[in-house]
Amino acid sequence: MIRPLRLGIAGLGTVGTGVVNIIRNHAGMLQLRGTCPVGISAVSARSKSRNRGVDLSGTAWEDDPVALATRDDVDVFVELMGGADGPALAATKAALAAGKHVVTANKAMLAHHGQTLAEAAESASVNLRFEAAVAGGIPVIKVLAEGLVGNRITRIMGVMNGTCNYILTRMETAGLPYEEAFAEAGALGFLEADPNLDVGGIDAAHKLVLLAAVGFGTRVDFASAELQGIGTISIEDIETAAELGYRIKLLGVAAMGDAGLEQTMMPALVPCNSPLGRLEGGTNMVVIEGDSVGQVVLRGAGAGQGPTASAVVGDVMDIARGIRLPVFGQAAASLVKAEPARSSARSAWYIRLALRDRAGTLARLAGALSEAGVSIDRLRQKAHANDSAPVVIVTHPARRTRIDAVLEAISATGDATTPPIALRIVEM
C-alpha cells in the first residue's frame, strides 16, 4: 500500500479551510494526478472551538504551530497563518530543521526572510514552495521558474493588489473621490487590518520582490523596493488620464539594467486598450518579458479562498509527484545581491502641478524643463481654483533622473501650491 503524503495545516482562515475542502472533496482526483494519496494529519489555529464550516473530526489538533510543524506524522507543513515574523516564521524554521517540506502563502515572511529560509530548505533537501504567495490563483512562480527557464527575463510588471485596482476602478467608473472609494472597499472587507499594506503598495511590493528573485536570480531585497501608494491619486488625475487615452494602475515593475535592479511599486499610466488597461476590479495581471518568448500575459483572481487554496494544493501536488526545485529557481547560494537602481529606461511622464497664479510662473516652469532636458508633448491648463492654476504636462520620453530634476527645480521656485505629482507612462 502506498503511504499518503501527510499534511499539517497551520491557519484555518479563509485559505486554510479552502485547502481542507479541496483535499477532502477531490481526494480521488488528486491521487490519480499524483503518485500517492494526500491526507491531513493535524491542524493548528488560534481557536479550536470556532465553527469554520469544515469537518475536522478525526484530525489531530495542535495549539502550538511549532509542535504541528515537527510532528512525526506530518510530511508537509502548510503555513497559512501570515505575518512576517512570529509564529509563522518560528514554525516554518522548525519544519525545515525537522526535514519537512513547507508550502506557504506568506509573502511578507518570504519578502523579509526568503534568503535564509531558502538556504535552510536546500540544506535539508526539502521543498519550500510559495505559489499562493504571489497573485493568488495565477501560477506565475511556476511559469517563471519552469516554463520560462530558457529565457533571460528582461522585465516583469503587473497589477498585483486587487484592492487598489478595485479602488481605482471605482474612482473611474463611478466618479468617486479616493476617500469614498477607499471607504467602500473597507465596507466590503477588501482592506487589510492595516490598510496601508494595500493602498501603500506594501502588499504588492512583497509579491514583486519575490518575482524579481525568481526572474533575475537575485536575493530577495524588499528594503530596496521603491514604494508609492495610491493615496495621492485624485479623481482629476483619473479623468485627465482617461482623456489622454490612459488608465491609472498601481503598477509593479522589476527590471535588471546596467545600473542594477529596479523594483518599483507605484501608480502609473497604461494605455486604455492594453491588457493592463482593460483590467477591472480585483483581478490581478502579471506581464513577463523574455528574450526568447517575447511577452507573456497572465491574468486571474489574485485573492480569495478558491484561487489561493488552488495554488497551495498545486504546490502540495508537486511535492506528491516527487518534484524538487530550488526555492527561487536556482540554488540559494548562487543568488546574487543586486545593486538597487532607479529606472534608467526612457519613458513619457504625466506631471500634475498646482501653480500660483502670478507673473513668470509658466516661464520658470519652462525654464526648469529646459534645464533638465525634458520636452513637452502635451500641456493642459484647467480652470483656476482660488489662486492656484492646475496644469498637466505629458512629457516626451525622458529618464527618471531628469524628471526628478524638474520636480526639484519647481519646488525650489515656490510656484507650486501643493507637491507635484509625477506618474510614469508605461507602454506595453
Q: Report yes or no: 302 and 164 within 8 Å, Cβ to Cβ.
A: no
Nearest alpha-carbon partner for 66 in 42, 88, 81: 88
Cell 493592463 sits on residue: 276
- Residue 223 DSSP one-character state: G
HSE-up of residue 298 (Cα within 13 Å, Cβ side):
23
Q: Which residues contact 342 (CB under 8 A, 6 or more apart)?
A: 226, 259, 262, 264, 400, 401
The DSSP output letter for 135 is S
Q: Which of 107, 142, 207, 249 is catalytic?
A: 207
**How does DSSP assign 285-338, residue by residue?**
EEEEEETTTEEEEEEEE-SSHHHHHHHHHHHHHHHHTT----TTSS-GGG-B-P
Q: Within 10 Å of residue 28's Cβ, how many Cβ atoms? A: 9
Q: How far apart are CA 265 and CA 379, in angstroms?
A: 26
Provide the grid cell at 84: 512576517
337 is known as an active-site residue? no
Residues 294, 249, 404, CA angle at the centre, nearest 5°? 90
Would you name the residues annotated as active-site residues? Answer: 207
